[in-house]
Chains A and B, each alone.
Chain A
């Protein structure tokens, strides 16, 4: 007979502190940044190399739309884009963001995850957050199975057509006040799949979005960051 209680106890504390600033390569692939290149030709080359149109050249500057980046790594390299190495990727969308929840939600929120066509890697990174290394529970953040008890809707995937109704129903079932976080390049912009007749160009086309976490998939640290932002435990300036 296995004593799981003792086994768990002897495993010790595996929870890690949240890193400040840059994070290790093991935790995040990084994200490309707008970069000034030596020549306009190089910037145009990188624009052409980007499969999702995340890079747009303006003279020698290659501008990056983080939401569209799918980590194909084709703009990486010695004379490529510079990549940010932190995990504070969360940002409000261009329009209609409500900001963080009220102060009373600061200590604890419940989150409902909706898969709107995700490939599995965003969902897997969400599962990692519940593991001992990231230990989401220490922030008072819990994944709940029902939208009726959820304060935050976390949507992954490009919003496939056959999920439209289910996604809207989940959103409408949530009590006010509520917030929506779009996680991953697909939910942010359609990513590699959308917009197409079967996928939306980001779930903001379907329901109002308050925060966006780019990445393909965003590392657990970036999603933890988004959830702490949405419940008001941190603000963007304090970190």
Chain B
């Protein structure tokens, strides 16, 4: 597939040197072709993986990474930017999903994207609040945050409202910006793994795995089969726990306290299973570059799986109870609707997208590790409302248990870590974290220190579509919409 695809590229743009390296089509292209090439890729349903700017003493590059959705394959387009003039054409006309990437790069690298509709004031706040759009009698802007509610993450929401109804909501993020990508520079590959895990503590394996994949691509490491299977096992255990957390938050947002308590109890049991198995409740310190930190006995894994399977009964009972509670359904049905078209346009990922009918799942679209050999379904729903998202979360929990079971049945013997030799290079890695696709890119120098680290977590993609779900809703539904969208501020802010 990829070779045929590249042939078409070669014949259309003969001036560009197209190379195939592994699963990736690479090219250094001139900014003049960028728009047309991007249009061509988008027409074939390629999605944006990430956009990376990198500046060294004498060069400034922007790399566009896209992945195919119909067959395995990536594209890496490198564009050199004049380090004095610092301008590039904006791609927002071709791909709206590029919008936030360009705003972030403009803010952190001072590259101006020509014709971009709105630049500035993104990562670094210069306290210019967005202009009020609504001009009506009694219209005002209600601010929520950055410190609000009980244990909420810090983010600011600007709700434009006329009385009871909120017409639109604008999120202001990056209050928690820790500059992970910047502080990673100069650190060793091992230490940056700690940063990748802690970018979002509730999806440590999801984001950590994408980082490990990137490092393994850069250093050309073959991960042993046993490690691949165990990594997938831990990833699914984390997905189980994460989805239970989201379900708990949805119950809490509708003030259904009994359901919340029952969900939190199941969640605590899953945390304990992780604690017993891995020694850490959030599975920190499980992954290593080239495999895993430790090996695990078959009996330990079986006990963990059995304990998780025992909880399945409680999960199913909770689902049945929620689906027959009309007062609960009234509050989550028809709220925060995101159409399939909007989900495609904003390239939303993860369970959020799957609830709107977009079956985007990196485990299937770009299979990695052990997933290619495991049979499972990707649950999708059509409605795109809060209830559809809840159903997707529940269905994915069932699938995760199924995957864990078949992984253990086919667990091979052998080592769990490959030898890693440092060298200079760069690599791209991806994984399906609990909230969606995590795409990461690393560049290393000769000593194995990180030169540039780019982390594109799923929440960064999904917050971009937040405003679609928050148009014309009743004020009291705001916490419910927020909970069903399953967004992490920490993951976005990095």
Query: A interface vs B, CB < 8 Å?
Result: 1-2, 4-5, 7-8, 11, 14, 24-29, 51, 70-74, 76, 113-128, 130-133, 143-145, 147, 157-158, 160-163, 166-167, 169-170, 191-194, 196-199, 216-217, 219
Q: Which one of A128, A132, A170, A196 lies within 8 Å of B183 (CB-CB)?
A: A196
Main secondary structure, interface of A, reads loop
B264, chain A: closest CB distance, angstroms: 4
- Cβ-based interface call for B464 (8 A): no
Report how many A-B pairs have Cβ atoms within 8 Å: 188
- Cβ-based interface call for B425 (8 A): no
Check A131/B326 contact, CB under 8 A, given A119-B490, A216-B284: no
Q: Which one of A25, A132, A158, A170 lies within 8 Å of B275 (CB-CB)?
A: A25
Return chain A residues, CB-CB under 8 Å to B124: 162
Check A133/B147 contact, CB under 8 A, given A124-B245, A162-B175, A198-B178: no
- Cβ-based interface call for B153 (8 A): yes
Question: In the complex, A55→B14 CA distance in Å?
Answer: 58
- The B134-182 residues at the A interface (CB cut-off 8 A) are 146-154, 174-180, 182
Q: Is the CB of A1 within 8 A of B150?
A: no
- The B170-203 residues at the A interface (CB cut-off 8 A) are 174-180, 182-183, 190-191, 194-195, 198-202
Question: In the complex, A181→B191 CA distance in Å?
Answer: 28
Q: Which one of A124, A132, A157, A170 lies within 8 Å of B261 (CB-CB)?
A: A132
Q: Is the CB of A163 within 8 A of B154?
A: yes
Return chain A residues, CB-CB under 8 Å to B256: 4
Q: Is the CB of A166 within 8 A of B147?
A: yes
Q: Which one of A126, A131, A194, A197 lies within 8 Å of B268 (CB-CB)?
A: A131
Question: In the complex, A147→B202 CA distance in Å?
Answer: 26
- Cβ-based interface call for B321 (8 A): yes
Q: Which one of B150, B201, B245, B281 lies within 8 Å of A119 (CB-CB)?
A: B201
Q: Is the CB of B265 within 8 A of A131?
A: yes
Question: In the complex, A176→B271 CA distance in Å?
Answer: 37
Q: Is the CB of A72 within 8 A of B275?
A: no
Return chain B residues, CB-CB under 8 Å to A127: 151, 248, 264
Which of B153, B174, B201, B491: most chain A CB closer than 10 A? B201
A123, chain B: closest CB distance, angstroms: 5
Known: A119-B199, A119-B202, A131-B268. 5 other contacts (CB 8 A): A73-B293, A124-B245, A130-B264, A162-B174, A217-B281
- Cβ-based interface call for B272 (8 A): yes
- Cβ-based interface call for B309 (8 A): no
